[in-house]
Structures are given as C-alpha cells and as structure tokens.
Amino acid sequence: MRILILGTGGMARQHAEHFAKIDGVEVVAGVDVDPAKLRGFCDLHDIPNAFASLEAALVWGEFDAVANVTPDSAHYATTLMCLAAGKHVFCEKPLATDYAKALEMTEAAERAGLIGMVNLTYRNVPHVHKAREMVLGGVIGTVKHVEASYLQSWLVQPAWGHWDKEHQWLWRLSTAHGSNGVLGDVGIHILDFAVFGAATDLESVFCRLKTFHKAPGDRIDGYVLDANDSFSMSVAFENGAIGVVHASRWAAGHINELKLRIYGDKGGLEVTHRPDGSELRASVGEDVLSGVWRDLMVEPVVTNYQRFAAAVAASQAGQPSFRHAAELQKVLDLSVQSDRDHGDHAV
C-alpha cells in the first residue's frame, strides 16, 4: 500500500512513524499548505514527494490511500475528494464536525467500496481490548453500571505548552476556529473507550456543557474563547446498563488520563491509561466477596495503523470504521442539543 499523509502537523508524525514500520506499506507523499512545514516533515521522514495542495496530489495520483491529518473542520471536504478519486482513507478523529457530514462521508466510502477508518487512538490500548473480551466472556456477568472519564490539565498547567500563547492550543478553545471544545476534541475518544470496553452501544444521552472564564473579555488576539471546557453526560446503554461519561481540561494533576470502570453482577473491571502506561484491574470471583482488586497481565494488540493496512490489503472493512465514528458523532451532536434544551435524547 502506498499512502499519502495529508496535513503535516503534530499528529502526522505518529502516522509517518507507524506506517513506516508496517511491511508492505510505503509513505510516498506529504501534503501541506505551509511549504516550510511540509519540506521539514518530508525530509525528516524520508518521504519522496511533497505537494502544496490535495488537488495537485490527486492529479499525480500515485498512491492507494490517504492518512487525513488535517484540522477537524477540513476532514469532510478533503475526505470526499479522496474518496471521489478512488482512494482509501484513514481519517483522524472526529470524522466530521457534525453527524450529517459524517454520515455523508460514510455512505460515500461504502458506495465506492473503499476502506474508511478513523484513528480513534485509544483502540491501541490493549487493556481496553482485554476488558471487552472479559465482558463478552461473561466474567463480570451482566453489566449494570459504567463510569468513563477523560481528564486533562492543560488549562491549569503548561504540561504540553502555554495555552494562552500558542495557536496550536488556542484554536481548540474557539468555535470560530473549528473547535467543538472538549466535547468534540476528546469526547469522541472517551465515548469510544466506554462503548468498546463495555461491549455495548449507547441508547440515550443527557449532557451538560460548560465554558469557563479564562481571559479578559474571553478573547486572546483573534481567538474568542467560547468552546466548552468540560462536559458531563448521564447515559443509558443498549444492554440496559446506565452510566456517567465526563471530561475536562481543568483536571489539575491529570495531564492526560482515561479511566473506564465497568461493573456487573459478578464483578468489576477498571482500565486506566496515562502517557506513562496503562493498567487493568479486576475484582471477580471470590475477590468480589472481600473487595480485592488485582492487576491483570495484558498482551499487545495490533494498532489502528496496522488494522487499516490489513483492511486495504484484504479489501475488507476494518474497525474503527467511518460508520462507527459517525454514530459517535451523532451522540456528540445530541449532547449539544441536550445541553440547549435540558432534555434526554435517544440515540
């Protein structure tokens, strides 16, 4: 598979490095509107071709697939262009900024018989795969309650940079710059973490969003800081369980932490993922009687990048698919609606 990387920002490095390690995959081109950034990226990763526009790259056409690493608001138009040209697409999350666009992208890929997958990064965490396996195997019995959280602290501490001075962070705080806030940025991650780990889809959602005061006039330079910083969801799952899903950028002390707790009538599971590692704990069997939790050993899993390459090679749909990401986007859209009308919404 010959792959082109569209967009050469921070996340593009991950794509270049991961795809370069896969046998039979060659990164053949990069695309970016910033000439200096494009040249530096291609030189760093030894990518032979560089294009200033997607249109120019498509005219060249010597590639099979595209890793779409453009900003969120650009996913829709650029992905449709790639699909129309007969290229498979591995898109960064979220698939689109609203469900209607995500569904259109999904149907376009399916209609063309092309592979469309989304890089929901935390599918690469083997501990959530093991938790799902245990849920499906009945180890914790019937799932009753789920708790999921995604906690970041970059509005409290400069762990990744100064949010009030650097454009790479400021755009995430402004709806005018294409951001749907923490809901759109990491909401899709923690929703996928929850439904995948608990092995069930969502049935309904009730959500509250909050944007906190951060600067005089809530504006810095040309950025109006109006995107949501925190959200809290009360959710119901299709298997009958209920749960809570929440995320915040104000979580002091949590640089980047995902946590998933799944409770059934025979036991419980807890997955934690941080930049320095992951863990899976379980309280099952006799341990339930005494409230003992034990760490479990977990085997590695194939990455999303490997899954995409395998799907293209086999001409078979892979996961996480466009359709799955579109369904998650529907939940995000309904969450915004729920915050506006203070209502519970069926998914």
**Model pLDDT for residues 113-139, shown as the tens digit of each residue:** 999 999 999 999 999 999 999 999 999
Question: Which residues 6+ apart lie within 8 Å of 137 measured at CB?
Answer: none
Per-residue pLDDT, averaged over 265-269, amounts to 98
- The torsion region of residue 132 among left (phi > 0), alpha (psi -120 to 50) and beta comes to alpha
Structure confidence at residue 10 (pLDDT): 85
Q: Domain map of the chain by residue range?
A: 2-121, 124-299+318-346
pLDDT at 159 > cutoff 90: no
Name the average pLDDT for the chain: 96
**Residue type at 24 in one-letter notation:** G
- Residue 289 pLDDT class (50, 70, 90 cuts): very high
**Residue range 298-321: average pLDDT?**
96
Q: 2-121 — its CATH code?
A: 3.40.50.720
Pick the CATH number of 124-299+318-346 from 3.30.360.10, 1.10.3470.10, 3.40.50.11540, 1.20.1440.120: 3.30.360.10
Question: Hey, which residues does 283 pair with through a beta bridge?
Answer: 268
Mean pLDDT of 21-47: 97
**How many percent of the chain have pLDDT more than 90?**
94
Contact between 259 and 148 under an 8 Å Cβ cutoff? The reply is yes
Q: What is the pLDDT of residue 71?
A: 86
Residue 32 falls in which region: left (phi positive, over 0), alpha (psi -120 to 50) or beta:
beta
Q: What is the pLDDT of residues 67-102, one digit of tens each?
A: 999 988 899 999 999 999 999 999 999 999 999 999
pLDDT digits (tens, 9 = 90+) for 161-200: 899 999 889 989 999 988 889 999 999 999 999 999 999 9
Smallest CA-to-CA distance from 193 within 243, 150, 133, 255 is with 150
pLDDT of 160 above 90: no
**Distance (Å, rounded) from C-alpha 315 to C-alpha 101?**
24
Sheet strands side by side (includes 26-31) = 49-51, 26-31, 2-6, 65-68, 88-92, 116-119
